[in-house]
């Protein structure tokens, strides 16, 4: 009742009180009827503990908001942890990629060196083969030249002998050759 007294005094100091033509506490005064209805409404709300229910609902809502905030905070922390993990994995993958690139470059350089060495060896083998072919061609040419020289010498000797030899001497040489062939065949 003590809580209602100051608010009741405030309500009594309305312009309707100043109107003076009807008494305020009369059922004919509409302002008094509205005041009574309002006080009855407030009384019903207090009787059924509506302010406590509203306060409880507000407390429940505040608690649910608090739990949602805590859940959001934990989700944020989890997201930050995941992000840090992904960033770490990305760094590791980048380091692996760099290592692979470095290894590939080294392998390519080694392959290039091996190819150079093999090319040098191949060139050396081909040069050796060419030198062998040149030596063989020189030897063959020398043999051909010797054979040709021998043939020319034989032909020249035959011409010289033919000019120096008479028909009788030629017949005698032919007969001797035939005799030698007969002796060797029998």
Positive or negative, the Cα torsion across 106, 108, 112, 117? positive
pTM, to two decimals: 0.38
CA distance 21 to 96: 98
What backbone phi and psi angles, to 5 degrees, belong to 24? Answer: -70, -40
CA distance 43 to 136: 133
Write out pLDDT tens, residues 3-30: 555 555 555 555 545 445 677 788 888 8
% of the chain at pLDDT higher than 90: 52
Positive or negative, the Cα torsion across 169, 170, 172, 177? positive
Write out pLDDT tens, residues 131-168: 999 988 888 888 888 888 778 777 777 777 667 767 77
């Amino acid at each position: 009742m003590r809580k209602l007294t100051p608010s009741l005094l405030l309500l009594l100091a309305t312009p309707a009180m100043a109107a003076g033509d009807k008494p305020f506490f009369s059922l004919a005064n509409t302002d008094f009827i509205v005041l009574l209805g309002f006080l009855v409404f407030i009384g019903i709300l207090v009787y059924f503990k509506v302010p406590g229910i509203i306060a409880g609902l507000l407390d429940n809502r505040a608690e649910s908001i608090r739990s949602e905030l805590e859940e959001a905070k934990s989700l944020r922390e989890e997201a930050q942890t995941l992000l840090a993990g992904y960033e770490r994995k990305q760094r590791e993958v980048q380091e692996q990629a760099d290592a692979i690139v470095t290894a590939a470059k080294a392998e390519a350089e080694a392959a290039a060196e091996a190819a150079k060495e093999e090319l040098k060896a191949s060139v050396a083998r081909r040069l050796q083969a060419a030198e062998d072919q040149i030596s063989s061609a020189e030897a063959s040419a020398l043999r051909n030249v010797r054979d040709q020289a021998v043939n020319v010498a034989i032909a020249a000797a035959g011409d010289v002998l033919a000019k120096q030899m008479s028909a009788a001497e030629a017949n005698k040489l032919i007969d001797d050759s035939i005799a030698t062939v007969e002796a060797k065949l029998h």
